[in-house]
Chain A
Amino acid sequence: MVSACPFFENQYSIKMPTIDYKKLSVPYQTSVQKVEMGLWEKLYYPEVTRGLLITSGHFVRNMMIHAAHMFGLAKNQRGAVTYQYPEERRPIHRRLRGRHRLTKKPDGSERCTACLLCETVCPTHCIYIVPEEHPDPTVEKHPRQYEIDILRCCFCGYCVEACPCDAIRMDTQVQELSNWDRTRMVYNKEYLMRDVAGPGAPPKDDPPIWWLK
């Protein structure tokens, strides 16, 4: 007989319990309510009316709130749950993993020491780093080239977690990543170090979210 696991002496070390489904009963077991087609359901109209009451209730409520918004009232109440996307944006939680950014030292140079941990851990192999000796002899290494192929990136956040010197973060909250050209979706070091302006700008001196661990 062929062994199930080549690293294991005894074959099939896992013993699965046998369960007799006819006798199986678990604590707190309930039956779902039984719905029979009674007169009420057969009449059809009462239920239709009830459904219409629910939907029109939502409709009227939302319409009233939107009307109130037009007069500048009830601004803290949301009408319809939809967002008018490009004009109005959904509030994003600060923990959301957006586009990467390379953090900088106080003198404006990159914090990254080209240790290649992020490149190693990346499950999609989308980071490409060419390390180089730093002109300053007190600093050991720095990346000459640092590229992230954002088309391959799966936004897992492992690079942020693996970085031993807080050089890469995903707190820009930039989600609209699009371009006409594939080659321009490979972000280089300069692009990743650029300050993000606008709604996605990260708060200044914010600790990386993984500090919260």
Chain B
Amino acid sequence: MNTNTEEKTFTRVAEVIEEDVPVEEMFLNLGPSHPSMHGIVRIMVRLSGERIVWSDVEIGYLHRAFEKSVENCTWNTAIVYTDRLNYVSPIINNVGYCMAVEKLLGITVPERGEYARTALSEISRIADHLTAVGAAAMEVGAFTAFLYTMKAREWLYELIEAACGARVTTNFARIGGICADLPYDFMDMCALRLPEVEKVVVELDKLLTRNRIFIDRMQGVGSVDAEHAVAFGFTGPLLRASGVPYDVRRVTPYSVYDRMEFTVPVGTTGDCFDRYLVRLEEMRQSLLIVDQCLKQIPAGPVCVDDPRISLPKKQDVYTNIEGLMNQFKLVMHNHGIQPPPGEVYVSVEGGNGELGFYIVSDGKDRPYKCRCRPPCFPLVQAIPYMIQDHMVADVVPVFGSLNMIGGELDR
């Protein structure tokens, strides 16, 4: 809790008023369509004066039946649906889903594919954190910070566009690798853009970190201690801000993360300000990872060379019958990729935390079940705990620091 004098005085005044005058409780709806509720979510609060005495969250406005839809499409076309989970960092979703299917199939992705996946995942993680920090800053009044982060995010989206062919609905990873090799000018674009993004991160730090208005709004607000954070099921920047160094990239290293040098920033108090600091540091670390990936990336294929899993080379398809047959076999219904029956759970570190895919296969060409563990969901369930006894104005920074993404939360 904040311990500066103004707040103490304020609390005392509020107590006096509450004791003397019976204050009637007011019921207030924040959202569903309110600018500060990113996406669509409704927070119901009961207020005594300006203090929140009870609150609840209503989710599900963006429910698109992801898990059911995936059961009705083939293993490969399900990747399209994963784009729409966390639409700020879709590549991480693509990679997570594909890794799950690859584990089911028991295949390993070629080195170059892994490095490209890692580099682009980190680029989209920076985009995710930039959005989260920028939007949270904008909502407490720092609009310039928002504009700068959006500028940097745009540069990152240009990189993503160059590699994947789309800015947001990337559809980048394929089972067994990635859709296409990195374009020939990708390294040059990265060399041009990433230092500029780094400059924006430094500027953001200078603008916000020691700014009194920002500190006053964020520090001591919505803090969750480590025990509660674990009990709620937090992962990602929020859990690390609470002091638990749980990072999927380090605890269970996947892809090529075990070869990367990066640090895991950990906070102490778990309030909104620590979350901001953790995100800021993670952006720097992600930039380092991208640098390392681009330096170490080997030449070679980007997708496994197995006609039962990945589409054959176009030259083969156009010129010989074998390639043509493989192409037809992979695309036709009831013929495509058919993983052996079984179940797997694979988790990756998404923008907001552990993004997991639990997949059950019955040996057919469609998933029998695909359950997604959205990192946002545990965070949102803790909103009532976090904003209890805070002011109405504190709801906005708390909610902003969660970085709730509707597509991922409601699936």
Contact = CB atoms under 8 A, between A and B. Distances in A.
Interface string A142-180: 000000000000111110011011100010000000000
Interface string A36-70: 01001110100110110011000000000000000
Contacts, number: 186
B342 A8 contact: yes
A123 B77 contact: yes
A30 B302 contact: no
A32 B267 contact: yes
Contact of B268 (A31, A48, A166): A31
B166 interface: yes
Contact of B245 (A24, A81, A96, A120): A24
A33 B245 contact: no
A161 B226 contact: no
Contacts of A40: 210
A205 B154 CA distance: 31
Given A54-B206, A212-B183, A47 B211 contact: yes
B251 A24 contact: yes
B169 A24 contact: no
Interface string B211-234: 110010001000000100010000
A115 B169 CA distance: 27
Contact of B165 (A4, A7, A42, A209): A209
A24 B246 contact: yes
A211 interface: yes
Given A21-B230, A54-B206, A97-B166, A37 B263 contact: no
- The winner among B212, B264, B333, B341 for most chain A CB atoms within 10 A is B212
B263 A29 contact: yes
A51 B273 contact: no
A8 B265 contact: no
A194 interface: no
Interface stretch (A9-17, A99-107, A132-140, A184-192): A9-17
A30 B169 contact: no
Interface of A: 4-8, 13-14, 16-17, 19, 21-22, 24-35, 37, 40-42, 44, 47-48, 50-51, 54-55, 81, 92-93, 95-97, 115, 117, 120-121, 123, 154-158, 161-162, 164-166, 170, 208-213
Q: Which 7 A-B pairs have the closest CB atoms?
A: A26-B250, A32-B277, A7-B341, A123-B77, A93-B162, A28-B263, A97-B165
26 contacts: A5-B343, A7-B361, A7-B368, A26-B246, A29-B245, A29-B266, A30-B266, A31-B265, A32-B267, A32-B278, A35-B209, A37-B219, A41-B212, A41-B215, A55-B207, A93-B162, A95-B162, A95-B163, A95-B180, A96-B166, A97-B165, A120-B333, A123-B73, A123-B81, A166-B314, A213-B303
